Amino acid sequence: MAKGTQPKPKKCRICPEKFIPRNSLQTVCSPKCAIQLANQISERKQKRLEKEQRDVLRARREKLKTKSDWAKEAQVAVNRYIFWRDFGRPCIACGKPLNYGVRGGAVDASHYRSRGSASHLRYNVLNIHAGCVRCNRELSGNLIPFRINLIEKIGDHRVDSLEHDNTPRRFDIEYLKRVKAIFTRRARHFEKLRKRHLEAA
């Protein structure tokens, strides 16, 4: 700054006051604001440190996960997608209304060909549809009406393809990670759409 030049007023980083800085590094108008700014900077550093620690811990946990762990997490992501994709639809088998307001109890992700008998179709979204707990768990899918309604929903050709698809598939960890990531994003997308529709109704 040239000798004799009056410094330009600055706006304090903490309060809305303008002040004449004593030097080019001064960013606050008073000691009180300086203490507040120092506390904010300290809080930001602490939050950044905590986030870094969480990221390290998450990475360590992921390294310890087995293929079975990833398979379960991938299935959870797919099931959540099915919940939001079919939101508002009745049970695929009995046709009764589903209570979508209660997560984890009132709506199941029901597999037409079960995971036990056709594990290669466990993530195939044409094979999975929203169903009630009674049909899915107590009646083992309630498959006769399930098939009738499934044909109506996705077409005879696709149902036939599911029934004749016996090609074995091996899901490695990298594939399971991709399944989880993809269906987590898709579930969020459909969740936003459904909630926006409910708010507009």
105-150 pLDDT, tens per residue? 689 999 999 999 999 999 999 999 999 999 999 999 999 999 999 9
Q: Nearest 5 degrees, angle CA 96-CA 99-CA 101?
A: 165
Residue 48 counted as domain residue: yes
Pick out the chain residues at pLDDT < 70. 1-4, 102-105, 201
Q: Residue 197 has what pLDDT?
A: 80
Q: Residue 3 has what pLDDT?
A: 58
In a shared domain, residues 51 and 97: no
In a shared domain, residues 91 and 106: yes
Say what the pTM is.
0.72
How far from chain centre, in Å, is Cα 31? 45
In a shared domain, residues 96 and 40: no
Domain boundary among 44, 64, 84: 64
Q: Residue 57 has what pLDDT?
A: 84
DSSP helix, strand, coil percent of the chain (3-state; round to 5): 55, 5, 40
* Residue 110, amino acid: S
